[in-house]
Every structure is written in C-alpha cells, then in structure tokens.
Amino acid sequence: MGDVNGRPRRRYQSSVREESARRTRQAIVDAAGELFVERGYVVTSLAEIAVAAGVARPTVFTAFGSKPALLRQVLDQALAGDDAPVAVADRPWFRPVWDATTPGAALDAYADACVVIARRAALLFETVRRAADDAPEVAELWDTLQRNRRAGAEMVVRHVQTLGDLAPGLDTQTATDTLWIFNDPAHYAALTLQRGWSEDAFRRWLAGTMRRALLPG
C-alpha cells in the first residue's frame, strides 16, 4: 500500500507496466523469428507478425520502428540467448573459452559456444542470407554478421596464442580466417539439421577440425 507522498504504489505500477511491455516485445520477437524462418523475411509483413504475436500492428511499429530493426533484434536475441544487454563474449556459457588453460581446451570450449549459438541462430542466418539478395537493408545486416563472426574468431585466436603456439607457418590472420570459416552456423544447419548428426557428434567434429587446422600436430 502507498500513500500520496511515499509513491510505492507508483513504483509498483511502473514495474508492472515495464514487465508487460517486455513480455509484449518478447512475443513480437518470438513471432517474427518464427515467421521469418518459415515464410522468409521479404514476404513477411509487420501486420502478419502482429497477428501472430496477438498485438496490434501499431504496437509492433512502436516497439521496434521498422522490420529491419525487428530482424536485428531477433538475431541479437538468437545470438545472445535473451534480451539482456550483455555481449556474447561476456555470457556465462562463453566463459569456459576464457577459463581454458591450454589452446586445445580453448578451442573445445569455443566449439561448444558455436553449437549454442548455431542451435538458436542457424536457420535465422540462412533466412538473412537469402533475403540479402532482395533487400539492401538486409544485405548490410548480412555483411555485419560476417564481420562480427570474423571479429569473434580473431578474439579467440588471439586468446589461444596467449596459451600456446599455433600450427607451424600459421599466422594470426590466416588462423582467424580459418576459424571464421568453421564458426559459420551453416555447418550446424547442414550436418545436424539436414544430415541428422547428433549435436554431440557435430560438437566433436567441430572441435577436432578446429584443433587440427590451428594447432601443432
């Protein structure tokens, strides 16, 4: 209970409104992610997303401003796991990469992180790749995704180098390019979703491939 001057009731009401707005935004993100993957980005409208989320179309526009902005939010949450403003590299599930004490252990942990990301984002990555040919704003987002994947690969390679040596003749940039190829969620989509590999089999393949490509034999 609150009084006129204490304002606890107002704080409570504000908290309720904020939680309601968060749930609405999440419903929109969930609906958009499903429709983008199922129908494609270009043909999916904000009105259809609103219907699937159970909200009015103006609510979608108010919450995100545009379809490209909504797609970016869908991707951000798929990569990170939720809407908290915490970078992927600072997430608890990425922590084993930094805690590793040998190059091999760091790459094993990175393979685990790649699986976590791909499980949530592989189909969305493919959706963005396909839409990039027809929507300039999505082409820009696709380029950003590629740059960010390579930046993540370089971050891991440099960490690996603090723990030990790379394979003979392999410099930082070549190692980064190599790891950038392997951290592509498309590999998960191809082997796990299309070919039916178990996640454990894929994880072991990915970790082993990264080790063989980057570390001394």
CA 149 vs. chain centroid, Å, equals: 10
CA 107 to chain centre: 19
Intra-chain end-to-end CA distance of the chain, in Å? 69
C-alpha distances in angstroms, 149 versus 9, 146, 154, 180?
46, 5, 9, 6
pTM of the model: 0.87
What does the pLDDT look like over 16-52, one tens digit per residue? Answer: 677 788 889 999 999 999 999 999 999 999 999 999 9
> Low-confidence residues of the chain, pLDDT below 50?
1, 4
The predicted structure's pLDDT at residue 13: 60
How high is the pLDDT of residue 11? 61
Quick check: 202 and 115 in contact, CB under 8 A?
yes
Which residues, 6+ apart, have CB-to-CB distance to 4 below 8 Å? none
Considering only CA atoms, which of 152, 141, 181, 150 is closest in space to residue 90?
Answer: 152
Residue 65 Rama label (left phi>0; alpha psi -120 to 50; beta)? left
Burial class, 68, CB count within 10 angstroms (exposed 0-12 / middle 13-18 / buried 19+): middle
Q: In angstroms, rounded to a whole number, what is the distance separating the alpha carbons of residues 155 and 90?
A: 12
89-97's contacts with Cβ under 8 Å and 24+ in sequence apart are 89/152, 89/155, 97/156, 97/159
Q: What is the pLDDT of residue 4?
A: 46
